[in-house]
Amino acid sequence: MQFRDLKTQYTVLKDEMDKAILDVVASSAYVMGPKIKEMETAFAEYVGAKHCVACNSGTDALLLALKVWDVKAGDAVFVPSFTFFASAEVIAMQGATPVFVDVDQDTFNMDVVDLERKIEQTVKAGKLRPRVIIAVDLFGLPADFKAIRAVAGKHDLYVLEDGAQGFGGRMGERKACSFGDISTTSFFPAKPVGCYGDGGAVFTDNHEWAELLDSYHVHGKGSDRYDNVRIGMNSRMDSIQAAILLVKLKAFADHELVDVNKVAARYTEKLQGVAKTPIVPNGFYSSWAQYTLQVENKEVRAGLQAALKVLDIPTAIYYPIPMHRQTAFGYLNLADNHCPVSDQLADTVISLPIHPYLFEEEQDRICKAVGDFLEH
């Protein structure tokens, strides 16, 4: 069994996909070119943002956003401790200081009460200038942007939505990757919409920032590519990935997002009372980048993972080490009780196979195996 079955997806999309890829090969427009513009327009329209700039990864997308806001040494950037490393890594890459915020046990997303507390502590300490909140749409569920925006407004901070896992999620009718002053996503193959390699995008409604993003992602270009007006990077998306993403977006919007939600609903129904199933608050809609259970403790989790492995059912631990305990951030010398909920989740979460092509029989087998282990 596959954790995320990209092969079946390819088989379903094969004719259209092969043609899209070979058209780019035949065109010889491998870098930039019309496919990139087409992809940017389609993704901006889907998300409901005025501008989309395609780039080389979700990590670069975050980094580009911080460059636009000139985030630098002396700046504090607030980010959840329970996330993928890249959300926090980019802050340090700019020379700024990450301030880790705990998460909510039910949604896995930023805890707004702890956010306020960490902002106030930072202001009081007087060493760093608070600049940006990076809120992550973990496992496909949008963060509580209404509450986060209120806090940001109060303290005059920018909101950067890390929608690497959130693409396709919604709050009301509004789509993920439109909630930040700048929002980003990743097209790494295993994300809700993935390409066949690395890829990412940045979204914003701000015209001036969109122009800066366009410049930063091609060596800080000015009026043309040999006129360089700022220090940028090489973070172009390959045309071939743009062509792949146009095919994938269509399938995602046509049926995949609905199908993956059916799979998630079935898990929640069948595993009710067996383990703590993920909670989607009223008015929210998830794109289910992961389906994550919480079990009693680390030992139970190790046992469950081993029992499933024997039955050829793959599982994953997202994430075993929160940011405030990462070796790379050891220089911050954080207190042991910095983010207790993140610590607890790191020991108790386990993610099950989920994707739009998971057959009911396979899912029944997974649920039975989980039930058999946890109920005995």
Ligand X SMILES: *Cc1c(COP(=O)(O)O)cnc(C)c1O
Q: Which residue ranges make up the site for ligand X (CB under 6 A)?
A: 57-59, 83-84, 86-87, 136, 162, 164-165, 186, 188, 198, 200
Integer CA distances (angstroms), 203 to 105, 120, 179, 211, 348, in order = 29, 29, 10, 12, 34
Which is nearer to ligand X, 58 or 232 (by Cβ)? 58
Which is nearer to ligand X, 47 or 370 (by Cβ)? 47
Looking up tokens 């802050």 gives 91
Which is nearer to ligand X, 134 or 350 (by Cβ)? 134
Task: Tell me how far, at minimum, the Cβ of 188 lies from ligand X, in Å.
Answer: 4
Which is nearer to ligand X, 66 or 271 (by Cβ)? 66
DSSP string, 31-42: BSSHHHHHHHHH
Terminal CA-to-CA distance of the chain, rounded, Å? 24
3-state helix, strand, coil in the chain (%, to 5): 45, 15, 40
Task: Tell me how far, at minimum, the Cβ of 228 lies from ligand X, in Å.
Answer: 25
Closest residue to bound ligand X by CB: 58
Helix (H) or strand (E) holding 200: strand 200-204
Rounded to 10 deg, the angle between the 298-310 and 360-374 helix axes is: 140
Which is nearer to ligand X, 142 or 200 (by Cβ)? 200
Task: Tell me how far, at minimum, the Cβ of 168 lies from ligand X, in Å.
Answer: 14
Reduced to 3 states, what is the DSSP secondary structure of residue 360? Answer: helix
DSSP 5: -
Reduced to 3 states, what is the DSSP secondary structure of residue 83? Answer: coil
Task: Tell me how far, at minimum, the Cβ of 184 lies from ligand X, in Å.
Answer: 8
Strands 97-101 and 174-175: unpaired
Which is nearer to ligand X, 58 or 130 (by Cβ)? 58
Integer CA distances (angstroms), 254 to 22, 66, 149, 165, in order = 23, 33, 31, 19
Task: Tell me how far, at minimum, the Cβ of 84 lies from ligand X, in Å.
Answer: 4
**Residues in contact with 196: Cβ distance below 8 Å, sequence separation at least 6, in sequence order:** 189, 240, 241, 244
Rounded Cα–Cα distance for residues 247 and 237 (Å) = 16
Reduced to 3 states, what is the DSSP secondary structure of residue 230? Answer: coil
Rounded Cα–Cα distance for residues 29 and 31 (Å) = 6
Which is nearer to ligand X, 138 or 374 (by Cβ)? 138
Which is nearer to ligand X, 101 or 304 (by Cβ)? 101
Which is nearer to ligand X, 160 or 313 (by Cβ)? 160
Task: Tell me how far, at minimum, the Cβ of 58 lies from ligand X, in Å.
Answer: 2
Task: Tell me how far, at minimum, the Cβ of 224 lies from ligand X, in Å.
Answer: 29
